[in-house]
Amino acid sequence: MTTSEKPDLAGERSDYIGGRLIEADAPDEPWSLFDAWLAEAFAARDDGYLSEPTAMSLATAAIDADGHARPSVRTVLLKGSGDGAISWFTNYESRKGVELAANPYAAVSLLWAPLHRQVRMTGKVERVDPEESREYFASRPRGAQIAARSSAQSRVVAADALAERVAAETERWEGRDVAWPEHWGGYRMAPEAVEFWQGRPDRLHDRLIYRRVGGAWSRARLAP
Ligand SMILES: Cc1cc2nc3c(=O)[nH]c(=O)nc-3n(C[C@H](O)[C@H](O)[C@H](O)COP(=O)(O)O)c2cc1C
Ligand SMILES: Cc1ncc(COP(=O)(O)O)c(CN)c1O
């Protein structure tokens, strides 16, 4: 179709023909399966048919004055996984930062569309150690460091004002390391539930959910 035609939204669908995800092959805990799926997503990226393997949707929910939880969702990059938790980095004063300060429970979803796979996690979020944030910040490209210092993420901004901030910060740090700003750092979530979804023909997908109770994981199959 050409870009001037309206896409047929209702008629758009793909058939999923991935492998099975069955209990006999699945581990007792979610992390080895998550690592295996991540490795396959990176391999697909290397082979050129999947992009942004670490992109994940992050949902937070603020309770408004009327008592209703109002979810908000955005994409962030998964930056760490290990010791029973995942992590990402952002501006603590952003909308998501403000919402997490008020309500630390969040949900994430990773979609690896070419592999017909999705992983969802829910749980409590906390800030990582400032030292870890400082270290990760130091590893980022200089342009991204300057941007993090210059941008009051999620606030209304004039394009000119942002460009001026970037120019000022660029000049300020010329010839030396860009200092880590304390309002920018990591969050970690030790999920209490992790769901793996493998697309199957006729929408009869495989879904396995792991739930953590204390230190132990239970596993169950969910209807597609
Ligand atoms: C692929 C992709 C990756 C992104 N990664 C991040 C990230 O790691 N950290 C971040 O703060 N924003 C990231 N963003 C921008 C966020 O989606 C969002 O615009 C920003 O964090 C402000 O969100 P908030 O106003 O809800 O706090 C990314 C956007 C995209 C499309
Ligand atoms: C605003 C923002 N912050 C952080 C990130 C994460 O990027 P990096 O890999 O440079 O830490 C992104 C990635 N798109 C972003 O858009």
Secondary structure (H, E, C), 12-27? CCCCCCCCCCCHHHCC
Is 157 a member of any domain? no
Evaluate if residue 4 carries a pLDDT over 90. Answer: no
- On whether ipTM exceeds 0.90, the answer is yes
- Residue 133 belongs to a domain with what CATH number? 2.30.110.10
Is 33 a member of any domain? yes
pLDDT tens profile 15-40: 988 789 999 989 999 999 999 999 99
188 is an annotated ligand-binding site residue? no
For residue 121, which of 109, 132, 131, 113 has the smallest C-alpha distance?
109
Total count of domains within the chain: 1
Dist. CA 11 → ligand 1 center (Å): 30
For CA atoms 189, 194, 199, 205, the dihedral sign is negative
Is 115 a member of any domain? yes
Dist. CA 22 → ligand 2 center (Å): 35
Tokens of 128: 């990582």
Mean pLDDT score of the chain, rounded to an integer?
A: 96
Instruction: Identify the domain containing residue 215 by its residue range.
Output: 23-141+182-221
Top-confidence residue, 63 or 192: 192
Q: Quote the CA–CA distance of 100 and 109 in Å, as a whole number.
A: 17
Is 86 a member of any domain? yes
